[in-house]
Structure 1
Amino acid sequence: MGNPGRGGAPGGDGSSASGTPGAESEHEVGPGSSESGPELESAARHPAEHYIVCGANTLAHRLVVELTEQYDVPVVAVVPSRDLDHAPQIGRLLGEAAVVVASTITEEVLHAAGVTRARGIALVDGDDQSNIHAALRVQALNEDVRVVLRIYNPRLGAHVERLLKNCSALSRSATAAPAFVNAALRRPNSVRVGSRAVSVEIGATGEREDFLCTVADRIDRQDLTRIRMLPDSPGPAAIWIGRTERQQLVEPGTRAVLRFVDEEPKPVFSPGSRLLWRLIDMVRFFTGVQLRMVLLGSVLAVIGSFVLIWVLARPFAWAVYQTLLDLAGSAVPDVYGQPGSAGVGGGWQRVAQVAITLSGVPLMAVVTAVLVENAASQRRTAPRQPSRGVRGHVVVIGLGNVGTRVATLLQSLGIPVVCVERDVSLRGILAIQALDIPVLTGEAPLEHHLRQARVHRARAVIALTGDDAANLEACLEARAIAPDVRIVLRLFDDDFAAHLYQSFTNAASRSVSYLAAPAFAAALMGREVQGTLSVHRHVVLIAEFVAEEGSELVGRTLRDIEVPGEIRVIAVRSPAARDYLWRPDHGRHIGAGDTYVLLTTRAGLGRHTGRVTRALAHPELS
């Protein structure tokens, strides 16, 4: 399984990259090379109005791709080494002259990258503290530059946004975690817009009142390259005309639509069963196997003897009273030959009393042993073990930043969670322990951990380590124990993911950097993306724009905004309205101050953002 939570398939927020092509890094990038004067000087000869990406992890790589291919803007990268992590791929994308090599982000490095002439800078490598320090240096050099930094702690990020003039602090693990949770629970990922939430449903058939638009068609799990995103398809009225025509128009399972979705109710568990398994878990936590055997035998003997006394000598309260006295060794025995010594219950009552008294001796000794053992050991600080009665839960493998976020989100939804992490020093274990989530740690074989996690009764297994091969191994082990369990993998390599869909059923894969990069790119361009929705390995974005006074869009129709295959307008709101108007008339004219919501591909978002930016910068051209 590798080192769960330490390596990198797309996804954590404060860790570093292994540098392997099939892995997404999560740990902090350390010094990989020294700064060199010639490289700094050559990198400074780039055009103005560019964007700077600091980092060489998977997110930095995806972000460079987003900016160059989707937004078509000049980019300069700052990497710790040309040879480590994803720096070679970044260098091939940008060219050697557009890469600054520096182990730390200093003022000299920022000047070499042209921060005084840049439009934006993304700090996506390193930990929270180093990213904040770099952001402060950037603002001291150019207070107008747009700063986007990756930060794990959302509360700290909110404070930083208020501290800096033009800053957005994002967490890639928090951005991607909902997609993993929804994939595991087999429910659509949703994005809230105003008072409604929208999601993508794949394989939709039949008439639905909550239909908004077609997101994709030509979906073939065996060849995901055939998917056509945001096709120029008929509207809902034309699509839902007759069963025969509908079957001819859309093959079941080959189409994805955008629809409204209600929040899934939290699962309800029986209070009695929850209390019973809590009691069993508490006994298992405080006792070893030998003590449990003695304790179980003593308790069963006491219960059986109490029932016998109750049956032979009613009332119930008197039976309880005598049982407790006998258990403590305080009962007065009958004297042979004394009148009335046969007692109320006769000979069987004496047998029961003897059994209770003898069982009380080891029972009191076990209780004393438990108290002494737990006072002298560190048992109470050990991670909580999964309950023997757990079922319908999700097994999370790897407690890096993404794994911790996913486990926390699942628990907040009321879904039972069991975590597996080999590295006992990982900080995610402490966070999970604080939430009272069971964790299996140590170097035991993965199969042993999965059996302890009751994977045969789980609803899903999510593998979130930093290595694609380790995640695949974990899911194969899970399938060997539970052939029908749903598996969700964190995979960076797109070809690897395509083969997964061809070879496995009831499986899904997600890439953290692929999910997070569009949000970081949009924030860097100054536009906030409301959320991302996935169709297998493809991503569409929900973005919100305001038609500002002077924009060329004012006076145009919504139809003028749309681009087949790239952009759909799904909602609009006038300044005086409280909520959005969904499925608006595309002949509606846009007024100054109107807010409109787009469902768009990454290329469409880049195209539209560039159009808005140019219109505001040069209103005389509109």
Structure 2
Amino acid sequence: MVGGNALAYRLAVELTEQYDANAAAIVPAEETPYTVQIARAVGTGNAVISAHVTEEALREAGIDRARAIAFVDGDDRTNIHAAMRAAALKPGIGIVIRMFNQRLGRHIAQLVADCTVLSASATAAPAFVNAALRRPHTVTAGGRSLWIAMGPDIDMRQTPFLVADDVDRDRPKKIKMLPATAARSRAQEWMALQERSPRHAALQFLDISHTDSAGNQAPAMTRLLWRAADALRFFTSAKLRTVLIVAVLTLLVAFTGIWLLARPLGWALYQSLLDVAGSAVPDVYGQPSAVGGSWQRVFQVALTLSGVVLMPVVTAVFVEGTAARRNVRTRQPSAGLRGHVVVVGLGNAGTRVTTLFHALGVPVVGVERDPEARGMAAARGLDVPVVTGDRPIDDALRRAQIARARAVVAVTGDDVANLEAALEARAINPDVRVVVRLFDDDFASHVYKEFGNTASRSVSYLAAPAFAAAMMGREVLGTLSVFRHVLLIAEVAVEAGSELVGVAQRELDRAGLTRVLAVRRSGSREFDWSGADRGRRLTAGDLLIVAATRAGLGGLLKPA
């Protein structure tokens, strides 16, 4: 494997601990906490330090003896070049490439032999989105949607599988995945689940339809005022808005005064417009005013002075608007926005999360300090409002209308920055749903213990099993989360000569490790989800859909 980031470390752990593989790594020359942990995971002698993925570095890492190699650097171009160099150096080696650009990735997969292209952010993003919306995250397998229900949400009519025991959000490390009950018959499981307490989770087979955003609709007049305020904010800066508002208010007060002193309305409007333009003829000194007296003169002066200010401001608004369009500035959040989700950090993961919210029809606002971040272009393309600039996070969240938001998703690459955003959001809006990206498991455990209405996810933790499985020649269809635990849904083909040939289906059901959900028998086109014939022995050509823990998928080809 090649890389020195969080995903590279998680992948090294997956290969060495879950698959018991002899792994080697090429890490960048600059030492980071991740490179140190990678070297410890694969063994100091198997860690090659190289600033670039050269032929010499590949050979030193043992590419001649390797069955697969993964390139998980954060740069698409670097990964593509390195993958092509490895393919030329050892034809036939299995290649796994991390790429953000999925469309380009599909072309690369066709161009490079025995190549699998995966996106870590695309793999993990649905888990963040569904956690924010409090909806089950689904994985499609065999024509069905699989999701995990907890406690009272378990629908007995769906004959679910028990997948997690002792579900306690305050002690996520103690959760038992795929407990012994999973080895019983469907009828026994159904009865067992009825008798259990709410602190359990079950895997169900359901089709989940997308839900739109929730939010209370404001009255029509209020929405009209919000839109007017948004239009003013779009075309003016803060300083111009202040001057413009003061000038317009002065103009309105003066016009009202002239109208009341010198009816009719038409004459007052005529006089006011001339005064604003600086074209009115003032009274001659010593002669009484025709109408209105001294008060009319006061109002005329106010009109003329506000007009002197108003005309340059209007000109500046047009100039500023033209420059803003030329700079393709991102849209600012609406003053009347409510029921939306705030995404903090528009890097790889934030871009995917924002795009998914937009696709679901959920209003979303981005918060990003770096105006050149990857997600800025995507936000402009989707017309998603973004709060940009190097400002305090509490100020950015207020500008993102966090007080009326339904959820905040903090997905920067910094655990501390994510936690700070979550805490500031909670301070402004105590009822907001919080989803925070955290790499450190202990850190996440403390967050779960101390804060309610909070979910924690790790991009590298969710994505690494898929990369490891691809290196081992297996396909992971998706991952389902029970707090910080991950349940893998995978397709496993029973090939001729495989250790699985002749093994009874029930022998693959191991407590805490694996559970066969469905089998498509050789020659059939449909999956059998009934589990009625668990004593049947597998034959070449069978295709299994399996629920497995990380360790379970790693040891699947070693039946007990």
TM range (shorter): 0.7 to 0.9
CA separation of 1:611/1:206 partners in 2, compared to 1, >3 Å: closer, same or farther? closer
Aligned-partner Cα distance in 1 for 2:528–2:248: 65
Q: Which residue in 1 is equivalent to 2:321?
A: 374
Q: 1:140 maps to what in 2? A: 88
Q: Distance in 1 between matches of 2:126 and 2:25?
A: 29
Give the Cα separation in 1 of the matches to 2:251 and 2:553.
68
- Counterpart in the other structure of 2:259: none
Q: List aligned pairs for 1:493-508, cutoff 5 A.
A: 493-508=440-455
| Preserved contact between residue 543 and residue 599 of structure 1 (Cα < 8 Å) | yes
- Pick from 100, 118, 133 the counterpart of residue 170 of structure 1: 118
What SS is found at the alignment partner of 1:73? coil
Q: CA deviation at 1:235?
A: 4.4
| Aligned residue among 358, 362, 365 for 1:418 | 365
Tell me how far apart the structure 1 counterparts of residues 111 and 383 of structure 2 sit (CA, whole Å).
34
Q: Give CA deviations for 1:309-339 in whole Å, capped at 9, x if unaligned.
A: xxx99xxxxx9xx99999999xxxxxxxxxx
In the other structure, the counterpart of 2:31 is: 83
Instruction: Give the residue type in structure 2 aligned to 1:289.
Output: R
Q: Distance in 1 between matches of 2:549 and 2:316?
A: 64
Aligned-partner Cα distance in 2 for 1:545–1:240: 26
Q: Rate the CA distance shift 1:389–1:235 in 2: closer, same or farther, 3 A.
A: farther
* Counterpart-to-counterpart distance in 2, 1:494 and 1:442: 31
Residues 189-233 of structure 1 show CA distances to partners (whole Å, capped at 9, x for unaligned) of 111113221111122466522243111101222222221110121
Distance 1:325 1:125, change over 3 A: same
Aligned to 1:4: none
- What SS class does the counterpart of residue 572 from structure 1 fall into? strand
**Whole-angstrom distance in 2 between the partners of 1:364 and 1:226:** 69
| Residue deviations 1:93-150 (CA, integer Å, cap 9, x gap) | 2322111111111111111112122101111125111111111111111111101111
Per the alignment, residue 465 of structure 1 pairs with 412
Residue 186 of structure 1 deviates from its aligned partner by 1.1
In the alignment, is the contact (CA less than 8 A) between 1:56 and 1:85 conserved in 2?
no
The root-mean-square deviation of aligned C-alpha atoms, in Å, is: 3.5
Displacement after TM superposition at 1:257 (Å)? 3.6
SS state of the match for residue 478, structure 2? strand
Question: For the Cα contact (< 8 Å) 2:370–2:389, is it kept in 1?
Answer: yes
Aligned equivalents of 1:494, 1:278: Cα separation in 2 = 44
Match 2:72 to one of 124, 142, 158? 124
| Partner residue of 1:62 out of 7, 10, 19 | 10
The structure 1 segments of at least 4 consecutive aligned residues displaced by more than 6 Å after TM superposition are 268-276, 298-301, 322-329, 358-366
Q: Does 1:522 align with 2:522?
A: no
In structure 2, what residue type is equivalent to 1:281?
D
Aligned-partner Cα distance in 1 for 2:381–2:98:
24
Alignment-derived partner of residue 179 in structure 2 = 231
- Rounded Cα–Cα distance in structure 2 between residues aligned with 1:488 and 1:206: 23
Q: Does 1:290 align with 2:237?
A: no
After TM superposition, the structure 1 = structure 2 runs for residues 479-494 of structure 1, keeping only pairs within 5 Å, are: 479-494=426-441
Mapped to 2, the partners of 1:404 and 1:126 lie a distance apart of: 14
> Which residue of structure 2 aligns with residue 10 of structure 1?
none
Which range moves more in the overlay, 542-551 or 99-108?
542-551
Q: How far is 1:502 from its partner?
A: 0.7
Task: Pick closer, same or farther for the CA change 1:300–1:254 going to 2, 3 Å.
Answer: farther
The alignment status of 1:265 with 2:211, answered yes or no, reads: yes
Output one character per residue of 1:66-109: Cα deviation in whole Å (capped at 9) or x when no partner. Answer: 01110011111111238324122222223221111111111111
Return the offset for 1:240.
4.3
- Indicate which of 315, 328, 332 corresponds to 1:385: 332
Deviates more, 1:375-384 or 1:558-567: 375-384
**Map of 1:446 onto structure 2:** 393
What pairs up with 1:493-572 in 2 under 5 angstroms?
493-572=440-519
1:354-374 Cα shifts (integer Å, max 9, x gaps): x9xx99989988755532442
Residue deviations 1:214-270 (CA, integer Å, cap 9, x gap):
1110122222222111012144533444xxx867x4121344444424122323787
SS, match of residue 386 in structure 1 = coil
2:342 equivalent in structure 1: 395
Q: Which runs of 5+ in 1 are unaligned?
A: 1-52, 305-311, 314-318, 330-354, 613-622
The answer as to 2:160 corresponding to 1:208 is: no
Give the AA of the match of 2:34: H
Relative CO higher for 1 or 2, CA cutoff 8 Å, sep ≥ 6?
1
How big is each residue's C-alpha offset from its partner over 1:461-488, in whole Å with a ceiling of 9 and x where there is no partner? 1111221111111111111111111111
CA distance in 1, matches of 2:231, 2:119: 36
Counterparts of 1:299 and 1:253, CA distance in 2: 66
Q: Which residue of 1 is the match for residue 381 of structure 2?
A: 434
Question: Where does residue 170 of structure 2 map in the other structure?
Answer: 222
Confirm or deny: 8 A CA contact 1:294 1:366 kept in the other structure: no
Does residue 1:100 correspond to 2:44, yes or no?
A: no
Checking the alignment, whether the CA contact within 8 Å between 2:163 and 2:179 is kept in structure 1 is yes
Cα deviation digits, residues 35-59 of structure 1 (max 9, x gap): xxxxxxxxxxxxxxxxxx1112111
Q: Deviations over 1:344-398 (max 9, x none)?
A: xxxxxxxxxxx9xx99989988755532442356686332110011111111111
Answer whether contact 2:213 2:363 (CA < 8 A) is retained. Answer: no
Which runs of 5 or more structure 2 residues have no equivalent in the other structure?
257-263, 275-299
> Matched residues in 2 for 1:552 and 1:276: separation?
69
Offset, 1:579: 3.9
- Using the TM superposition, give the Cα deviation of residue 432 of structure 1 relative to its aligned residue in structure 2, in angstroms: 1.5
Amino acid at match of 1:167: C
Is contact 2:79-2:98 (8 Å) kept?
Answer: yes
Partner of 2:137: 189
CA 1:164–1:246 in 2, change beyond 3 Å: closer, same or farther? Answer: closer
Contact 2:150 2:198 in 1 (8 A): no
Aligned position for 1:584: 531
Q: Match of 1:238, as an amino acid?
A: Q
C-alpha distance in structure 1 between counterparts of 2:193 and 2:109, whole Å: 50
State the number of aligned residues.
519
SS in 2 for 1:54: coil
Is contact 1:81-1:87 (8 Å) kept?
no
SS of the residue corresponding to residue 605 of structure 1 reads: helix
- CA shift for structure 1 position 292: 5.2
Q: Distance in 2 between matches of 1:378 and 1:328?
A: 31
Deviation readout 1:148-185 (Å, 9 max, x if unpaired): 11111111111110001111111111111111111111
